[in-house]
Amino acid sequence: MALLGKLEDYILKTRAEVIQNSGAKTAYELFEVDVADSAGVHTVSRVAEYGFDTFPDDVSVIRMECQWSASSRSLSINIRFENDNADVRIKYEGDGSREFVHGRCAEIREIIDRFKNLNRLYHPSRVIDGLLDLLSSLLLAAGVVLLIGRFSVSFGVPALSSALAIYTYNFIGRLKPYSAFDTVKNHRNEQVSTWFILGFFAFLLWGVLGRFVTKTFLGF
């Protein structure tokens, strides 16, 4: 929600500057925010008018649109958030239009980047994701064979632990979507995934320390 507020402030400020610099009489202007979910599309003229602290859990698209036109000048700004994509489109008819569009797009992207989280770390490319799946399967198979056959416990346990780490990484990725709308469900998943990560590392740390203590002081 905070991101939309920042974008709204920036867009309205940009429109005001264009109107002031043009010196032309406004013929048409529009600013609205659309929130689409399973119930339909909720449209408001300001972010503050939305009336809720968070979005519905099933929100699918959020769009911001600003339009302004005069006799010989016009401005159009559209920002659309959907899945893991933020699409920014600006059209300006006036002096220095190319520089204006490139500059404003860069500034909007900069605002969006300030609100990015680290969830993208849990969503590698399809190639890397496929390699991780293959590696986890090989490690799991190797660990089971080594432990059941009692060939090498010292190699079997690390193999299984590595496979478990990859499975945990993939599971956390399901709880941490690449692009998360500000919903109750995503807040809850964020808390669960954080506790899951802490618990997993505590388990690994305890296993390493336990192995060190038993081997050092108990001899096995």
Question: pLDDT > 70: what percent of the chain?
Answer: 74
Region 172-177: mean pLDDT is: 69
The pLDDT score that the predictor gives to residue 217 is: 55
CA 172 – CA 194 distance, rounded (Å):
9
Domain boundaries, the chain: 2-116, 119-218
| Both structure tokens of 161 | 């632990």
* Tens digits of residue pLDDT in 125-139: 778 888 888 888 888
Whether the Cβ atoms of residue 41 and residue 48 lie closer than 8 Å to each other: no
Q: For residue 66, what pLDDT is reported?
A: 95
3-state secondary structure of 117: coil
Task: State how far the alpha carbon of 212 is from the alpha carbons of 20, 156, 157, 206, 219, in Å.
Answer: 71, 16, 14, 10, 10
Decide if 2 contacts 54 (C-beta within 8 A): no
Q: What SS3 state is found at 31?
A: strand
Over residues 180-197, the pLDDT tens digits come to 566 666 667 667 777 777
- 11 pLDDT band, cuts 50/70/90, is very high
How far apart (Å, rounded) are the C-alpha atoms in residues 3 and 15?
A: 18
Which single residue is written with the structure tokens 């995503």?
A: 186
**Region label for 76, one of left (φ > 0), alpha (ψ between -120 and 50) or beta (otherwise):** beta
The first and second tokens of residue 58, run together, are 């099933």
* Strand pairing class (40-44; 85-93): unpaired
Q: Within 10 A of 200 (CB to CB), how many other CB atoms are there? A: 16
- What average pLDDT does the chain have? 79
Q: Which residue has the higher pLDDT, 78 or 2?
A: 78
In whole angstroms, give the CA distance from residue 29 to residue 66.
8
Tallying the residues shown for the chain, one arrives at 220
On whether the CB atoms of residues 65 and 30 are closer than 8 A, the answer is yes
